[in-house]
Amino acid sequence: MGIRAALALSLAWLGGSMDAAAGGEPAAGPRAGDEGRITMPGSPFGVAWGFLYGYPGTKAEVFLPQLRQLGAGCTKLYLTWSQIEPKKGGFDWQAVDTFLGQLQSPDEALIAVWSSSTWATRRASPLLLSSPAKDPDDYYRFVHALVTRCKGRVRYWQNDCEPNNPIYWSGTAQEFVAQLKVFRRAVKDADPEAVVVCGGYDGLFRPPGQPPIPGQERGLAFFDTVLKDGADAFDLFDLRLYADPYSIPARVATMRKKMTGLGYQKPIICTEYNGPGFFEFPVNRQYVGLVTQWAGAITGGAMERGTDPADATKNPIAALYAKRDTLAPQTQMFLAGCPKDLEEKFHRIACRDLVMRNLLALSSGVQKTMYWDLWHDTSKRDDLMHLMYARFRLLDYDGGVLKKRYPSADAFRRMTEALDGVESVRRVEVPGRPAIYLFEVSRRKWDPVFVVWERRDVFSGEDQPAVTFEWAWDTPAAKAFDALGQDVHARVTDGRLSLSVSATPIFIEPTK
Superfamily of domain covering 422-511 = Golgi alpha-mannosidase II (2.60.40.1180)
What was the pLDDT predicted at 13? 37
Query: What mean pLDDT do residues 127-145 have?
Result: 96
Query: What mean pLDDT do residues 414-420 have?
Result: 98
What was the pLDDT predicted at 307? 56
Does residue 90 register a pLDDT over 60?
A: yes
What was the pLDDT predicted at 32? 45
Does residue 259 register a pLDDT over 90?
A: yes
Mean pLDDT over all residues of the chain?
Answer: 90
What was the pLDDT predicted at 295? 59
Q: Find the distance separating the first CA and the last CA of the chain, reported in whole Å.
A: 45
* Nearest to 236, CA basis, from 186, 180, 297, 296: 180
Does residue 392 register a pLDDT over 70?
A: yes
For the ranges 25-39, 381-395, 425-439, the maximum mean pLDDT occurs at 425-439
* Nearest to 3, CA basis, from 314, 380, 378, 296: 296
Any idea of the CA torsion for 411, 414, 415, 420, to the nearest 10 degrees?
A: 160
Does residue 297 register a pLDDT over 70?
A: no
367 within 8 A of 239, measured Cβ to Cβ: no
Where exactly are the structural domains of the chain?
283-367+376-416, 422-511
Does residue 220 register a pLDDT over 60?
A: yes
What was the pLDDT predicted at 316? 86
Does residue 26 register a pLDDT over 50?
A: no
Does residue 487 register a pLDDT over 80?
A: yes
- Residue that wins the pLDDT comparison between 384 and 410: 410
Does residue 501 register a pLDDT over 80?
A: yes
- Which burial class, exposed, middle or buried, applies to 2 when counting CB atoms under 10 A from its CB (0-12, 13-18, 19+)? buried
Long-range Cβ contacts of 487-492 (<8 Å, 24+ apart): none
448 within 8 A of 473, measured Cβ to Cβ: no
Question: If pLDDT is split at 50, 70 and 90, which confidence band does 16 have?
Answer: very low
What was the pLDDT predicted at 30? 45
95-128: pLDDT as tens digits: 999 999 999 999 999 999 999 999 999 999 998 8
Note the helical H segments in 268-339.
Answer: 288-299, 311-322, 329-332
Q: What is the pTM of this model?
A: 0.91
What was the pLDDT predicted at 301? 56
Does residue 6 register a pLDDT over 80?
A: no
Question: If pLDDT is split at 50, 70 and 90, which confidence band does 14 have?
Answer: very low
304-314: pLDDT as tens digits: 555 555 554 56
Does residue 258 register a pLDDT over 50?
A: yes
Does residue 350 register a pLDDT over 50?
A: yes
What was the pLDDT predicted at 55? 96
